Structure 1
Amino acid sequence: MKKWIVWCVLLVGVLSFPCTLEGAVREKKKRVPKEEKVELSEYDKLFKGKRYESAVGEFVAVHKMDGKLYIEYPLRLLGRELLLASTTTSSTDHTVCTNGFKENTPLHIRFTLKDGSIQLRKVNALYETESDKAEVRQAIRQNFNDPVIATYKILAYTPDSLAVVFEMTGIFLNEEPQLSPIPQESGVMRVTAAYTSNLSSIKEVKAFKDNMSVKSQLNYTYTVARDRLALVKDQPLTVEVTRTLLLLPEQKMKPRLSDSRIGTFLTIKRYLSESGEAIGKYSYANRWRLEPKDEEAYLSGELTEPVKPIVFYIDPLFPEAWKNPIREGVLKWNKAFEKIGFKNVMQVRDFPTDDRSFDPDNLKYSCIRYVPTAVANAMGPSWVDPSTGEILNASVLIYNDVIKMIRNWRFVQTAQVDPSVRGKELPVAILNESLSYVVSHEIGHCLGLMHNMAASAAYPVDSLRSASFTRKYGTTPSIMDYARFNYVAQPGDQGVKLTPPDFGVYDEFVIRWLYTSFETSATIWDEARTLEAWVDEKANDPMYRYGRQQVMGRYDPSALEEDLGDDPLKAGEYGIQNLKYILSRLNEWITDDPTAEYRRQLYDQMVSQYYRYIRNVMYNIGGVYLSDAKEDSRYKRHQSVSREIQKASVAWVLSQLKNSTWIDDPEVLRKLPLGMTPSVTLAETLGKQLFLLYKQVTLSASLSDDPYTVEEYLDDLYRDVWESAIQNRRLTTIDMILQSQSLAPLSEQVKTIGGKRVGLSLADIYCYGLDPTGMTDRYIGSLRAVEREESLTGFGSGYGWQRVLDTQAMEEAPAYYLEMLMKIKDLLESRMETFVGEDQPHYQAMLFAVKQVLGKQAQKN
């Protein structure tokens, strides 16, 4: 009975199970409500269902989506200072955009949060104070705050609410002019470009520990013009740029106050004191942050490695033969650092092949780049934290034709002594040595050193012919001078060193001054007093004198480019003797040259070198020696070149011009393309400059106790230039050119009598040196190239250039020029009947021109 009951129960259970299950399922369905729609966050809405490329670093996350750029910026970093830099990565016209170069100074910026938006502010780091008073610091904040240059709407907060997301596309394309890769000028060309937005785009994003980078392709139509002539007009230009947003250190480097007697690049500051005195101007010297790993060992005099070495990465695109000399040019500076207690400061590495994060155009990496462009040059710019002057990045750009420049220098300046440089190719050892020198000079800029154009004037000229002296000191106390190779050494001078030193005593001293590490407790003001005392000790030693590069106001003949020694007349004489020696053997030495192309290059360089020798002496005329010395120094702030040297220089220059026909070597010229003879070009160019030096002479005379006056200067010119008529000897072509050249400035000066002023631009005369009108001859082109090489190339103004001074108020030149015109008129009229042959038509033309200038006054006489 019990079994039956059990089986019945089981059977009922089995039969009823499917129904019960189905019912349960139905019941469950009844209980489940309709699916609720999940509300997406603003962050998810921004990215959900879209294709985008992201890069996430410890600093920021960056996203490229639908052609736009979105940044996730941490709230904790709001207010932190950053640099935003733009580097050209590639372009379709290398003559406009140089790969690896930053056309503009990086933007110094920070982000702030305001009313639900992110503000991009440009940091105003110009004003500083040492005061701890809240009132002083508040005054700076209120009066010199950071301006807002862009505002971005916050699109979302990240899910963890630790960062905000905003779109920042425009600044990585063409929104900010200071990030443009297009220069306003390229050499002597003017560049204009119009941005083509529909062809431009963001290509790639990367993010790292303390920076992010964005590669963009920018398109333009551009025009290149010279004067008013468009050489390229409305042509397409594509430039790929890499823009780096770099987080600056929160713990700032201790800055170093500058000293105007030491040539370093500067970060300019304005100083606000507690006392309310006038706001002062001072500056920090730009330098790398160099700190010893073991401070105790360093202070005890042991060689110590730095916490962070200075690393340069070398471009794999360089010709293989260049790489070792380039490395040597960098590593040589370790010798200077070892003298102040640091070892292995300078390091050179190849571009990493196994590090995907490496990018030579990222602001984090300092690189030596190869520029395969027909430019004979190299450069070494650097970029700093504007708050402290800490160098954060530097580049060395080496152009392809630097080898041609080296080869030409070595031939024109040293072939009289060194037979090994007389062929078409330099020996490997000399080429490597010279390339290493060029790189070392540019690395000096990267370390913060400016040009020191006064260095070579420390050496007596005849010492440059001494084997013992030159082997010890080279040709200059500073590799940062433009003192190339030893053009003073004469044939037969045995054992004379022909090259600059690896480093001079001046260079080593600047490295000591810039990079010596003091105890961390010392303030910048304590350090400044110690450093000032170091410079005081050297202040009377010419080997340590710093001379600013002269760009606009060119007054100091002891601080010139491309000169050697303390006497430009004597050095010029030696150099010209060597040029004559080399020129007379040019065809003998250069034989494997069927088109004479190589000889043409060398010959043009010789003409340019001859021009330099004469020009260097011309700076004596009206010259003023300049110095940033203290009152108790042997050097004066400004001191006129002596009357005797100025007078001798006028005679020397005119003698050279009158006897310059040796440069017109017929055996050489007949193998070259047709052109004007160089002596004619030189006489025209330098003669024009010579007659425009009256402003310098006026200034120099006003500063001297025994002046070389404008009256004496013009008398000397008159007697020398018109000597053919005074002595009644036959004219030469050079005589005719110089006499013709003398009348133009005379005419202009006479116009100023009565108050009409003529606008002469000394900047045009001395910065570029040559009249750009109608000069197409290759020799003039060569001379212009000389001037361009020596003009400012954007490295920074250092302690400022000597400005051009307006001497009009004290000028008496118009009266003396009128007197000279009257003397010329009287001379020609009195001698006209005695002039013979072709001389008489020339003198008649000159007399006619003089009378035209003098006008009615001359007609009455």
Structure 2
Amino acid sequence: MFTSRSTLPFSPMTPASPLGALKLSSLAAAVALLSACASTTAPTGQAPATAPAAAPAASPAVAATAPAAAPGASATVPGAARPPTDPTAPKPFADIIKDAKVQGGLFPIWRKDEKVWLEVPKDKIGKPFLFTANVANAVGERGLYASQMGMDQMVEWRRIGNQIQLIALNTAFRGEGGGKAAVAQAFSPSLLAAGPVASAEHPERKSVLVDASMFLSDIPGLSTRLEAAYRLPFAADRANSYIEASRADATLSTLTARMHFATPRIPAPPLTPSPVPMPTPPQATPDARSMFVSFVYSFAALPEAPLRPRLSDPRLGHFMESFTDLGNDMKANARVHYIKRWRLEKQDPNAALSEPVKPIVYWMDKNIPAKYRPAVEAGIVEWNKAFEKIGFKNAVLAKQQPDDADWDNMDAGHASIRWFVGADVGFAIGPSHADPRSGEILDADIGMSDVFSRGSRRMIVEDVGFSALQAQQATQALGAHRHGAAEALCTYAHDAASEMNFALDVLEARGDVAPDSPEAEAFVAAVIKDTIMHEVGHTLGLKHNFKASTTISQKQLQDKAYTDANGISGSVMDYNAYNLALKGEAPTTFNNTTLGAYDYWAIEYAYKPISVENEAAELAKIASRSTEPALAYADDADAGGFGPYDGMDPLANRFDLGDDPLAYYKKRLKLSKELWTRVQDRKPEVGDDPLRQRRALMSGFNQLFRSAELVGKYVGGMHALRDLPGSTGRASFKAVEPAKQREALQFLASGLFSVDSFKFKPEFLSTLTIDYNEWERGGPLNVPASVARVQLVALDRLLSQNTALRLMDMPAYVPEAQRKGLISLNEVYGTLQGAIWSELKSGSEIDRLRRNLQREHLKRLQAILTKGGGASGQMADAYALARLQANNLAAELRAAVAKGGQTVETRAHLAESLDTLNSALKASMSRS
């Protein structure tokens, strides 16, 4: 079924230092995506295996392109023809491949000693095919991981005299309705690789040879990615790079390039530390100046007949192949969006339930630990439930790669679930490659890091979470710069593992689950199934749905019979939190165990067999069900958190649960307090992990950080509905109920801003030891910094410009008769200030944590007064209200300073705060 990968080193004729002969690549793109290469490799300078790998059986397609030798079989071409009379002309085909061995396929691969050639048939020059570059081996840190899916382009070979070029075709601009020539003149293609033709045409097949060394360059643009990670000029070192493996069959030819990247030197650190933090040189390689990365280049045939495109509908979410169609100037918007989906056709079109002609097969990587394989398989085949609803039996299959397999599923021919590791890795990804002509998914490789192993708990819980830098690196790794998609970034595995650790910490503290017990392992297996369902959904074409969790009521979440049968959310494509019961409540289902109503609906829209004449009407009918409460949908932009999108709808969130997210956040605060109480009451035992107590404490803080961020969305929030014009008559935007906004504001003031929420016993804090075996062990836990992280994310949200603008604009969205009782910007500013500075009225001592919060509020108020955009324009009223509140606060501070009587720390804090505020009120504003 699979051919073995043959291995072949490529040693240049002239050796060079691994740190010399460096050349910066001119191609700058982001790479590193998803699929690992398990091919055998040979070190530079060693001879390849004498016998080629087994190849697929002969087929008409192979016979048409392969050399005279049987396709896939090794062949030795006997004698060579006489040299041509023109010394500059390419040598005869037979001369070049004398004594070479061949792998027959789409583009036959010839090998002799250290040389490798691709045979390019004449009838395939100028014919498009799919070219992909995946990363099999990598650095192991900072987003540079193995088993990652990379770039994909529709390309063609072009021959210019004796030069052969690999050209990436421009599919972003098209002339589907006419005018293709004008579009071609307006928008340039790109050159990916080029080199001289290595042979004259074959006398019978009219094909030519191309030297595979043309692919020993930085085609994916990794040098830019390395520079972004390390701020060092790494470049491809062609002299020490080689072709390490190859494979070919009727529809695919694959070359694996073992690329050496190097930089001449690591600069000495500056004598004076830079005010801007600089990344360290590589930490995961023996020598920071040198690293090897393996690119798996696949040359894949496109379907002769493209799949009939299916247009997207914004009322539900599918990944899209989008382009600008300039062939028709009658459309107001020239953008066209085809949904991405696999080609799925019934063997028996008339049967109500039929096997597909070609099922969607996921190969489970042999690196997946054996104990997790059943959970991975369960997550894959769960999707068959949705396909059975539309008439397909066994549409999705899971197959296990044998542990002793010598073939690799890294190429473009196989969908896979790949398990990878790294020094700082913690995510899963479900990308895919599709035919740009139609959106047909041709390959998908889910990458799952080992975040679910027990050792990962340290990284996820003890650290501050998935940082902005990590998110940026993961986005670059995904190549989101090419697809314009922050939506392509999926951190579900990392965040789900963090959720899992909090749940396990609570359950272990209660005594319900012992660490490393069968119950704990079953819990982890359920998490893996949940995560795999999510990532497989991505590779089936489904985007995130961050409103699905709100389609289940709080009462249903407490009903174990309901959650066992229906799960805890309306979709596995949401980032679903864990359904933990409060102390004294009956336990229920912890996480999602099956597909939700939305998942069935999205699969129906993408894959239901529909005749051409009925397609438009039937798809419109399916999409019109968007008004059903169980099918609520919102994507990444709705949830916010990147670019200009701050997430204005409090029902569109990552990691909430139930139809009342605010009630969920309050419950999370109670659970965190319970965890902290139980952990403080537990006495450390001999043999404990020294970081166990610290991890549990940070686990609670991580939960509150997420809750604080999302609670703030209620204030100035707007509910958004995805109705098409004229489809329902409902309002597209509706202000969040004033009572709900005030409830959220009060929860922040009395809960997360209160010092009572963060009190820990000194006897407990003094026992939080560190790991003395680790050099970068740090010191005692910084509780004030952890509290500040929780509080400041809410404070920044409430004082942001976007929140102010929405609060000021909100009356415009509400009929005049209903405006009474609306929450105002002045109320928000006043309530927030009163809660943060409540000690000024009570005259009580100001705790250190509260002093920290007050200073941070003062910093933000100072920024508004001095750099807040000027006293004109959209923010004029916000500035005026902030100044009003600042004057009120200054008066209260003067009165408090005059009273005296507090501790010296409080008196100093009040005096400093008053001086800072007076300076801000007197300062000249920087007007923009």
Scaled by the length of structure 1, the TM-score of the pair is 0.80
Match of 2:5 in 1: none
Question: What CA distance in whole angstroms lies between the structure 2 residues aligned with 1:275 and 1:408?
Answer: 50
Aligned counterpart for 1:361 among listed residues 402, 410, 423 = 410
- What is the Cα deviation at residue 109 of structure 1? 0.4
Give the letter aligned to residue 558 of structure 1: L
Which of 761, 766, 786 is the matching residue for 1:670? 766
Match of 1:571 in 2: 664
The answer (yes or no) to whether the contact 1:408–1:602 under 8 Å persists in 2 is: no
What residue number does 1:371 align with? 420
Structure 1 residues 691, 733: CA separation in 2 closer, same or farther (over 3 Å shift)? farther
Sequence identity percentage: 22
From the superposition, tell whether residues 391 and 658 of structure 1 become closer, same or farther in structure 2 (CA, over 3 Å): same
* Matched ranges for 1:214-225 at <5 A: 214-221=255-262
2:754 equivalent among 631, 655, 659: 659
Amino acid paired to 1:268: S
Q: Relative to 1, partners in 2 of residues 1:857 and 1:727: Cα closer, same or farther, differing over 3 Å?
A: farther
Q: Taking structure 1 as reference, are residues 668 and 337 closer, same or farther at Cα in structure 2, changes over 3 Å only?
A: farther
**Residue 311 of structure 1: how far off its partner (Å):** 1.0
- Tell me by how many angstroms 1:485 deviates: 1.3
User: By how many angstroms is 1:142 displaced?
Assistant: 4.7
User: 2:145–2:422: 8 Å Cα contact kept in structure 1?
Assistant: no
- In 2, Cα distance between equivalents of 1:546 and 1:754: 32
Inter-CA distance 409–473: structure 2 relative to 1 (3 Å threshold): same
Q: Paired residue for 2:47? A: none
Match of 1:648 among 743, 760, 764: 743
Mark the CA change 1:570 to 1:123 in structure 2 (over 3 Å): closer, same or farther: same
Tell me, yes or no, if the aligned pair for 2:546 and 2:633 is still in contact at 8 Å: no
CA distance in structure 2 between the partners assigned to 1:756 and 1:701 by the alignment: 15
- Matched residue SS, 1:232: coil
Residue 854 (structure 2) pairs with residue 812 (structure 1) = no
Aligned equivalents of 1:709, 1:178: Cα separation in 2: 50
Q: Secondary structure at the match of 1:681?
A: helix
Asked whether the equivalents of residues 376 and 402 of structure 1 are also in contact (C-alpha less than 8 Å), the reply is: no
Change (3 A) 1:815 1:684: same
Q: Counterpart of 2:585 in structure 1: which amino acid?
A: D
* Residues 564/365 of structure 1: CA separation in 2 closer, same or farther (3 Å cut): same
Q: Provide structure 1 residue ranges, at least 5 long, that are not aligned to the other structure.
A: 1-36, 758-807
Output the CA distance in 1 between the equivalents of 2:733 and 2:367.
48
Report deviation, 1:360: 1.6
User: How far, CA to CA, are the matches of 2:81 and 2:670 in structure 1?
Assistant: 92
Of 128, 140, 154, 1:81 maps to 128
Q: 1:463 to 1:39 in 2, by over 3 A?
A: closer
Structure 1 residue 129 displacement after superposition: 5.8
SS of the counterpart of 1:242? strand
Letter in 1 for 2:856: Q
CA distance in 2, matches of 1:175, 1:733: 54
State the partner residue of 2:219: 176
2:820 aligned with 1:728: no
Write the mapping of 1:769-780 to structure 2, written as runs, cut at 5 A: none
Are 1:513 and 2:578 counterparts? no
CA–CA distance in 2 between the matches of 1:701 and 1:403?
A: 49
| Structure 1 contact 423–590 (Cα < 8 Å) conserved | no
The answer to whether the aligner puts 1:689 opposite 2:796 as a matched pair is yes
Instruction: Please name the residue that 1:288 is paired with.
Output: 342
Q: For 1:495-547, what per-residue CA distance to the aligned partner results, in whole angstroms no more than 9, with x for missing partners?
A: 5222224100101111111111123xx16xx4233112111133242434334
Which aligned pairs between 1:237-386 and structure 2 lie closer than 5 A?
237-272=291-326, 274=328, 276-278=330-332, 280-297=334-351, 301=352, 303-351=353-401, 358-373=407-422, 375-386=425-436
How far 1:288 sits from its partner (Å)? 0.6
**Once the two structures are superposed, what CA deviation does each residue of 1:386-412 show, in whole Å capped at 9, x if it has no partner?**
111111111121212223466763452
Aligned twin of 1:599 = 693
Which of these residues, 207, 211, 216, is aligned with residue 252 of structure 2? 211
Q: Structure 1 pair 503/593, CA: closer, same or farther in 2 (3 Å)?
A: farther
1:559 Cα offset (Å): 1.0
Which one has a bigger Cα radius of gyration?
1
- Report the equivalent of 2:45: none
CA contact (8 A) 1:265 1:285 kept: yes
State the Cα distance separating 1:483 from its structure 2 match: 0.8
Task: Tell me how many residue pairs correspond in the alignment.
Answer: 756
Supply the distance in 2 between the matched residues of 1:551 and 1:317 (Cα, whole angstroms): 34
Contact 2:81–2:95 under 8 Å retained in 1:
no
1:203-258 CA-partner distances (Å, limit 9, x unpaired): 33332211211122111126899954231165211112221111111111111110
Aligned ranges 1:494-513 → 2 under 5 Å:
494=586, 496-513=588-605
Q: Does the alignment pair 1:584 with 2:634?
A: no
Query: Structure 2 matches for 1:110-189, cutoff 5 A?
Result: 110-115=156-161, 117-128=163-174, 131=177, 135-144=178-187, 146=189, 152-169=195-212, 171-178=214-221, 182=225
Change (3 A) 1:449 1:96: closer
Which residue identity does 1:285 align to in structure 2?
A: I
Corresponding letter in the other structure for 2:710? N
Distance in 1 (alpha carbons) for counterparts of 2:868 and 2:534:
49
The answer on whether the counterparts of 1:621 and 1:647 sit within 8 Å (CA) in structure 2 is yes
Q: CA deviation at 1:330?
A: 0.8
Cα contact 1:293–1:307 (8 A) shared by 2: yes
Instruction: State the distance in 2 between where 1:148 and 1:658 align.
Output: 57
Alignment equivalent of 1:428, drawn from 521, 525, 540: 521
The structural deviation recorded for 1:600 is 2.4
Question: Could you tell me how far apart the structure 2 residues matched to 1:754 and 1:434 are?
Answer: 47
* Residue 82 (structure 2) pairs with residue 59 (structure 1): no
Q: 1:97 pairs with 137, 144, 148, which one?
A: 144
Report the CA distance between 1:825 and its aligned residue.
1.6
SS at match of 2:740: helix
Corresponding residue of 2:573: 480
Structure 1 residue 285: Cα displacement: 0.8
Higher deviation after alignment, 600-609 or 466-475? 466-475
In terms of mean alpha carbon deviation, does 162-171 or 571-580 score higher?
162-171
For residues 472 and 336 of structure 1, the distance between their equivalents in structure 2, rounded to whole angstroms, comes to 15
Structure 2: give runs of 5+ residues left out of the alignment: 1-79, 283-287, 458-495, 770-779
SS of the aligned residue for 2:362 comes to strand
Q: CA deviation at 1:702?
A: 0.5
SS of equivalent residue, structure 1 residue 110? strand
Query: Do 2:375 and 2:529's aligned partners in 1 also have CA atoms closer than 8 Å?
Result: yes
Give the root-mean-square deviation of aligned CA atoms.
Answer: 3.3
The residue type equivalent to 1:826 in the other structure is A
Question: Contact 1:62–1:72 at 8 Å: present in 2 too?
Answer: yes
| 2:502 alignment partner, one of 409, 412, 415 | 412
Aligned pair in 2 of structure 1 residues 150, 318: CA closer, same or farther (>3 Å)? closer
Q: Does structure 1 residue 541 correspond to structure 2 residue 608? A: no
* Residues 687 and 216 (structure 1), Cα distance of their counterparts in 2 relative to 1, 3 Å cut: closer
- Could you tell me how far apart the structure 1 residues matched to 2:293 and 2:218 are? 15
Which whole-Å CA distance do the structure 2 matches of 1:49 and 1:450 have between them?
A: 50
- The change in CA–CA distance for 1:497 and 1:540 in structure 2 (over 3 A counts) is same
Aligned 8 A contact 2:138 2:146 in 1 = yes
Report the Cα distance in structure 2 between the residues aligned to 1:144 and 1:753, rounded to whole angstroms. Answer: 42
In structure 1, the residue matched to 2:809 is 702
How far apart are the structure 2 equivalents of 1:713 and 1:308?
Answer: 58
Counterpart residue number, 2:3: none
Residue identity matched to 1:220:
F
CA shift at 1:143, angstroms? Answer: 4.2
Q: Which has the higher contact order (CA 8 A, sep 6+)?
A: 2
Equivalence for 2:41: none
Q: Does structure 2 conserve the Cα–Cα contact (< 8 Å) formed by 1:753 and 1:814?
A: yes
Distance in 2 (CA, whole Å) between partners of 1:278 and 1:594 is 66
Residue 472 of structure 2 corresponds to which residue in structure 1? Answer: none
Preserved contact between residue 304 and residue 342 of structure 1 (Cα < 8 Å): yes
- What SS does structure 1 have at the residue aligned with 2:305? coil
**In the alignment, is residue 854 of structure 1 matched against residue 925 of structure 2?**
no
